[in-house]
């Protein structure tokens, strides 16, 4: 499955990549022509042994004049060596460019696929991953894959090409010396495989530790003002030090494994060279092997041993790449949100009907129990309830951010779960208590709701949200940067900007989930008054703990423990024993105390 992700990412670049690997194979051929040129020069030019060449080349050798011709032109073998080196370098360059371009194109597609998939994940599934972890998967993990495609995979091909060329070449020169020259290569291969199996889990633990550190760092920087407000810098520094130390410890473990591998493999490589040199020298003294053949063997072995040693590092990096691919696959295998564009697209006027609506989280915990409610177009509905009573969950259901698990929700007679989500969300606007603002200008944040909105429409929405006067107080007006998450604005200003952004969409249903909790009561009253101009075409649902907000609605729903326990107008509920009356009495007494104190 992981390989499938990689193959899909390589789509469109496979031919270029394969061409690069083919160029690598050709470069390897030229690399091993050098030892053959050395062997012929030493044995058949400087010495007087008959050249061992294929029949066509042997005829060409004789036609040129044989040994005498090359003995008086020793620059020709030198030129041949230089030519093979140049051609090897040329094809290696072609391979490098081809694999680099292919890998960059592949990771671009992979990064885009990850980002697009995250954008389409269901609302509930986003809670499975922390922000820092997702960032690392889209950056560090993908960069690990890029390095493997561009650097490590060609090394594997290079090693296999070298073995497939070098072994037959060595056997053709001297089988006995070949056995001696490759005696420890299988041991090196086995050691590389054991190292790979040992280090793979270490890389996985290191990646997980880095993800935890990235998450903690992202949270700490995002909440730096809260940290300073409570004087918790030392605490956060200690937390980061713990994560940093854990990551350092795990990284050192990987480094120690790598150091062990390189030292042992280096010792084995030197031992292999020593075996060949000593054994070959004995055979030369016995006259069974020429000096040219021994020189060729030593040169071939020098070329061959380093890639074989590198195989351990390559396999280790392949293990790291496998971990990275697995982490990407963990996100990509989460099904994307369904029915974004598939489904009905009815005209929405704002009528809502909820019958025995229930909702449970994936872990089975039930939040809503048998919700029944009728909301008419243009009606203003208030919702009151303690924390955890299911108010926000109900709001999320109406925008299909969550899917109800039982009962029925109809909007203007059409079942909600049959409507295309994108269409529904263009008709039902939600303003949350903690609005998210992007680090852009006020104008750009407003135009997120409607990209083609004219300046007049932007100003009108801002006036309705009582935000236009705030903007006029900024030197750059609507072109003022709000900073990350709107850090340059107060809580009330951020809520008003978020409300203006939502009003710019001009939807028939507006849901305010405690969206004016940071706005003072006087400004809130002005906003409610401004919204009156839209009442004939706007169904409004206000979730609030503020009685003055709820008192202005047509009907109030009181929720507790996932149920609607009472409903009615403000005047009815304050005279009826229950949760609403108790909240009203507390807030009313507090207002009287403030008035007396003032």
CA distances from 404 to 306, 351, 360, 568 (A): 61, 18, 8, 25
Q: What is the mean pLDDT of each run of 10 residues along the chain (598 residues)?
A: 72 88 92 87 81 74 76 86 93 92 89 89 79 83 88 87 88 86 82 75 79 80 72 82 88 83 82 86 85 87 80 74 85 84 88 93 87 92 90 89 91 92 89 81 87 87 86 87 78 85 87 80 79 79 88 90 92 90 86 69
Residue 254 lies in a domain: yes
Q: What is the pLDDT of residue 19?
A: 92
Rounded-to-integer distance, Cα 409 and Cα 107, Å: 43
Q: What is the pTM of this model?
A: 0.73
Rounded-to-integer distance, Cα 559 and Cα 551, Å: 16
Q: What is the pLDDT of residue 207?
A: 77
**368 and 324 together in one domain:** no
Give the largest Cα separation in the chain, rounded. Answer: 122
Residue 344 lies in a domain: no
What CATH number does the domain containing 167 carry?
1.20.1560.10
**175 and 214 together in one domain:** yes
Residue 345 lies in a domain: no
**286 and 397 together in one domain:** no
Among 173, 329, 200, 183, smallest CA distance to 268 is for 183
**313 and 452 together in one domain:** no
Q: What is the pLDDT of residue 411?
A: 93
Count the domains in the chain. Answer: 2
**305 and 447 together in one domain:** no
Rounded-to-integer distance, Cα 217 and Cα 522, Å: 39
**165 and 271 together in one domain:** yes
Three-state secondary structure of 194-219: HHHHHHHHHHHHHHHHHHHHHHHHHH
**278 and 367 together in one domain:** no
**283 and 365 together in one domain:** no
Q: Which residues, including other chains, have CB under 8 Å from residue 76's CB and lie 6 or more apart? A: 70
**283 and 426 together in one domain:** no
**Residue 325 CB neighbour total at 10 angstroms:** 24
**303 and 392 together in one domain:** no
Q: What is the pLDDT of residue 286?
A: 85
Q: Which residues, including other chains, have CB under 8 Å from residue 477's CB and lie 6 or more apart? A: 442, 471
What CATH number does the domain containing 492 carry?
3.40.50.300
**300 and 372 together in one domain:** no
**180 and 292 together in one domain:** yes
Q: What is the pLDDT of residue 79?
A: 92
Q: Which domain holds residue 451?
A: 352-597
Q: What is the pLDDT of residue 498?
A: 86
Reported in sequence order, the residue ranges of 463-592 that DSSP labels E, i.e. its strands, are 509-513, 539-543, 555-560, 563-568
């Amino acid at each position: 499955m992981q390989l499938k992700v990689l193959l899909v990412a390589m789509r469109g670049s496979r031919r270029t990549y394969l061409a690069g690997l083919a160029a690598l194979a050709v470069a390897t051929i030229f690399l091993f022509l050098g030892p053959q040129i050395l062997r012929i020069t030493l044995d058949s030019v400087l010495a007087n042994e008959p050249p061992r060449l294929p029949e066509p080349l042997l005829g060409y050798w004789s036609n040129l004049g044989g040994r005498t011709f090359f003995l008086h032109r020793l620059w020709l073998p030198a030129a041949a060596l230089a030519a093979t080196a140049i051609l090897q370098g040329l094809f290696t360059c072609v391979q490098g460019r081809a694999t680099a371009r292919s890998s960059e194109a592949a990771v671009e597609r992979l990064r885009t696929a990850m980002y697009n998939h995250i954008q389409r994940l269901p609302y509930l599934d986003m809670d499975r991953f922390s922000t820092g972890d997702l960032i690392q998967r889209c950056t560090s993990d993908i960069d690990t894959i890029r390095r493997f495609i561009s650097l490590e995979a060609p090394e594997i091909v290079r090693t296999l090409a070298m073995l497939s060329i070098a072994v037959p070449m060595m056997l053709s020169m001297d089988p006995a010396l070949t056995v001696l020259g490759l005696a420890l290569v299988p041991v090196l291969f086995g050691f590389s495989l054991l190292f790979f199996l040992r280090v793979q889990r270490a890389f996985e633990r290191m990646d997980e530790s880095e993800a935890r550190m990235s998450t903690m760092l992202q949270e700490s920087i995002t909440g730096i003002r809260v940290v300073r407000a409570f004087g918790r810098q030392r605490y956060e520094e200690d937390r980061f030090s713990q994560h940093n130390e854990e990551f350092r410890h795990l990284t050192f473990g990987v480094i120690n494994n790598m150091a062990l591998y390189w030292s042992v493999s280096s010792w084995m490589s030197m031992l292999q060279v020593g075996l060949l040199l000593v054994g070959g020298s004995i055979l030369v003294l016995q006259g069974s092997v020429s000096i040219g053949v021994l020189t060729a063997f030593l040169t071939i072995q020098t070329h061959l041993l380093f890639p074989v040693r590198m195989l351990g590092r390559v396999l280790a990096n392949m293990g790291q790449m496998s971990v990275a691919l697995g982490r990407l696959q963990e996100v990509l295998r989460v099904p994307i949100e369904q029915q974004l564009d598939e489904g009905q697209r009815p005209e929405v006027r704002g009528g809502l009907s909820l019958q025995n609506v229930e909702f449970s989280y994936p872990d089975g915990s039930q939040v809503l129990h048998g919700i029944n409610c009728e909301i008419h177009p243009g009606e203003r509905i208030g919702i009151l309830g303690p924390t955890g009573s299911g108010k926000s969950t109900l709001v999320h259901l109406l925008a299909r951010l969550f899917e109800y698990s039982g009962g029925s929700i109809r909007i203007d007679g059409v079942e909600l779960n049959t409507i295309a989500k994108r269409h529904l969300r263009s008709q039902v606007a939600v303003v949350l208590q903690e609005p998210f603002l992007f680090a852009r200008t006020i104008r750009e944040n407003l135009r997120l709701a409607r990209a083609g909105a004219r300046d007049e429409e932007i100003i009108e929405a801002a006036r309705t949200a009582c935000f236009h006067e705030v903007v006029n107080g900024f030197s750059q007006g609507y072109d003022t940067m709000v900073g990350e998450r709107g850090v340059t604005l107060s809580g009330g200003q951020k809520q008003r900007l978020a409300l203006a952004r939502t009003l710019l969409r001009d939807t028939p249903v507006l849901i305010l989930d405690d969206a004016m909790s940071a706005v003072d009561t006087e400004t809130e009253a002005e906003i409610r008054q401004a919204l009156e101009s839209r009442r004939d075409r706007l169904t409004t649902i206000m979730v609030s703990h503020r009685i003055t907000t709820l008192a202005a609605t047509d009907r109030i729903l009181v929720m507790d423990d996932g149920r609607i326990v009472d409903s009615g107008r403000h005047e009815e509920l304050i005279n009826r024993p229950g949760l609403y009356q108790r909240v009203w009495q507390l807030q009313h007494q507090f207002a009287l105390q403030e008035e007396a104190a003032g």
